[in-house]
Every structure is written in structure tokens, then in C-alpha cells.
Amino acid sequence: MEVIIQQNKEAAAALVARIIAHDLRANPHLVLGLATGATMERVYRQLVALHREQHLDFSLCSTFNLDEYVGLFPSDPNSYRHYMDHHLFRNVNIDARNTHLPNGMADDLDVECRRYEAMIQRFGGIDVQLVGIGKAGHIGFNEPLSALRSRTRVKALTPTTIKQNAPLFRGEDNVPRRAITMGVGTIIEARRCLLLATGDSKAAMVAKAVEGPITSMVTASALQLHPRCTVVVDEEAAAQLTEKDYYRWIFANEPEWQDYR
């Protein structure tokens, strides 16, 4: 795992977008795993800008989102399909047929989860998986006690997550109680993982995920098992990390990061 600390939210998101853009230019057929949420809005703004200003080409890539709420139509303004269309897909030259999210309205949710897993396999697996971290320490909607080898399935949201997402739904009572999410096992099978966390509300969970023990109570900690995981944080989210000087040294000196400094 590598940790890159940037000065602020904008710089952290810009770095993540540049890493994605680099991998997409190297492989136009990239299979991208995507996340939603407030943190990622900045990343998508940056990717749209790279498309408009530097012709970043999405025409051949495919995407798989981490999760979708159960019971929301794709047209619902709070569905993750709507979020993705609004923040990214409609603003770049991606082929809509290559964009995939679980169907939270499926008649048989278990069949839908298996279908989603099979489709990821059919596309050859995910090349780069973007993830955020929730206040419950989750990646995707893998709430505390999610098995670290779990696959795509339906999960009930914790009270912490319901509270975190309530503002968008105008109150906790309106937040769906369940979601389909890629499992922790599905996520860490991606060939590369990129975790972006910003703001002081994420500092405690970032410290647990990066420097704490691997535990299903903080499913983001499973990323420590991944052979190629980059964690990008701003100063606020990095506040409780103990080895910041070491992380800064690596970013400043290792040749891999030369083009990103």
C-alpha cells in the first residue's frame, strides 16, 4: 500500500484523475471500477475536464460501479445510475452500453448479484478500482462484519451509513435500508485499487484502514492485502496517520511518482 498526501481536496482528486487518465491512455480498453459519493464528484469533474481539454478518450473503456441502492429506479435522482450519468457518463464520450451498475430493482436480487459478478468476469476483471471510504469504514457498502472474501450481494446499511447519506434523501427515514454491493473479495481482485479520502471526518477511519489491523469491522483495511493499492488523502484526512513523513518521502523520491509530483 502507498499513501499519497496532497494539500487539499482538489489536489487529491486531481491526482486520482491523473492516475486514471494515465492508465486509460496506456490501455484504451481499460475496465474501470467506479464509486459514487461526495468525494468522487471532484474526480469526475477533473476527468470531464481532461476529456474536454486534453481529449481523454473513454470510447473503448468499460465501467462497473461498486454499488446501487435496492428499490430505486435508475431515473431516481438518488440512484447511483443517475449520479454516474450526471457526473461522468453524459459528459464524456463513453458508450452507455459499456457502463454497468447493479440493478437494484431486479425481481430476484440474488440472481442479479450473480449476474453482475459473472459480467465482471466476462470483461476480464477490473483493471483499476476507485473506492471511497465511509464513516463506518466501508468500501462499497461492505459494512462492518462483511466477510473479507465476500462477493457481490445485498447488504443492509448500518445506522452510521444511513446518517452519512441522509442529507441527499432529506432525512434518514427516506434512505433505502439495503444496497447491492460488490464484495470485499470482488474489490480486492481488481488489478489496481485507488482509495480516495478527503476531509477531517474521514481521518479516524483512514488511520484505521491504513495503519490498523486488518479487520472486517473496517472493511477498507482489507486493501492492505492488495498488492497494488494507492491511498490518496488530503492533509485533513491524513491527520491521524502516524507515518506521514515516510509516506511523503516515498512520494517525493520514488521514480514511479515522478510524473505526478
Least Å distance between CB 168 and ligand F6R? 9
- Among residues 103, 123, 137, 110, the alpha carbon closest in space to that of 27 is found at 123
Phi, psi of 100 (to 5 degrees): -125, 135
**Of 40 and 241, which CB lies nearer to ligand F6R in the complex structure?**
40
- Helix 9-26 and helix 38-54, axial crossing angle in degrees, nearest 10: 50
Q: In whole angstroms, how far apart are CA 90 and each of 30, 68, 75, 80, 169?
A: 18, 18, 14, 14, 23
Q: Which amino acid is at 254?
A: E
Least Å distance between CB 89 and ligand F6R? 15
CB 209 within 8 A of CB 241: no
**Of 18 and 163, which CB lies nearer to ligand F6R in the complex structure?**
163
**Of 98 and 142, which CB lies nearer to ligand F6R in the complex structure?**
142
**Of 66 and 210, which CB lies nearer to ligand F6R in the complex structure?**
66
Least Å distance between CB 43 and ligand F6R? 10
Q: Which amino acid is at 165?
A: N
Least Å distance between CB 138 and ligand F6R? 5
- Among residues 46, 244, 9, 29, the alpha carbon closest in space to that of 132 is found at 9
CB 94 within 8 A of CB 31: no
Least Å distance between CB 253 and ligand F6R? 30
**Of 133 and 162, which CB lies nearer to ligand F6R in the complex structure?**
133
Which residue's CB atom is positioned nearest to ligand F6R? 132
**Of 52 and 177, which CB lies nearer to ligand F6R in the complex structure?**
177
Least Å distance between CB 259 and ligand F6R? 26
CB 218 within 8 A of CB 160: no
- Chain residues binding ligand F6R by CB under 6 A are 35-39, 66-67, 132-134, 138-140
Alpha-carbon span 2 to 159, nearest angstrom: 31
